[in-house]
Amino acid sequence: MSLQDTLEMNVKRIVDFLIYSKNFIIRKSPLKALVNNIVEGLKDFLTMKKKLKMAQYRLNYHQHQFHKMEQLIAENNQHSFLKGNNLNETR
């Protein structure tokens, strides 16, 4: 092989690599994906406090519902020790 053949082969390999790289960037668009990930991260970061307040509200609501249900169960239960001051009338 001569020097010219070697140079042509290497230039052809570089051109093929650049074509493959261009097609990959067009197909996958990594910069666009990176920008989208950064924007989504910023949105999550900026709305973190609002999401925390909503989660605390839901937690308090479900705790309240749970305590109400426990109280109803205790009132309708036949065991007098759960009723507090009420006596069991069925005994």
- Per-residue pLDDT of the chain in tens (91 residues, 90 and over written 9): 788 999 999 999 999 999 999 999 999 898 899 999 999 999 999 999 999 999 999 999 999 999 999 888 877 776 655 555 555 455 4
Cα 88 from Cα 19, distance rounded (Å): 86
Task: Clarify whether residues 64 and 85 are in a common domain.
Answer: yes
| Domain co-membership, 56 together with 88 | yes
Question: 72 and 86 in one domain?
Answer: yes
pTM: 0.48
User: In the structure encoding, which two tokens stand for residue 25, read together?
Assistant: 């960037």
User: Does residue 26 share a domain with residue 9?
Assistant: yes
Per-residue pLDDT at 71? 87
86 and 55 in a single domain? The answer is yes
- Give the dihedral of Cα atoms 52, 55, 61, 62; nearest 10 deg: -140
Pick from 18, 40, 21, 17: which is nearest to 29 by CA? 21
Q: Which domain covers residue 79, as residue numbers?
A: 49-91
Query: What pLDDT sits at residue 2?
Result: 87
The amino acid sitting at 9 is M
Same domain, 60 and 23: no
Number of separate domains in the chain: 2
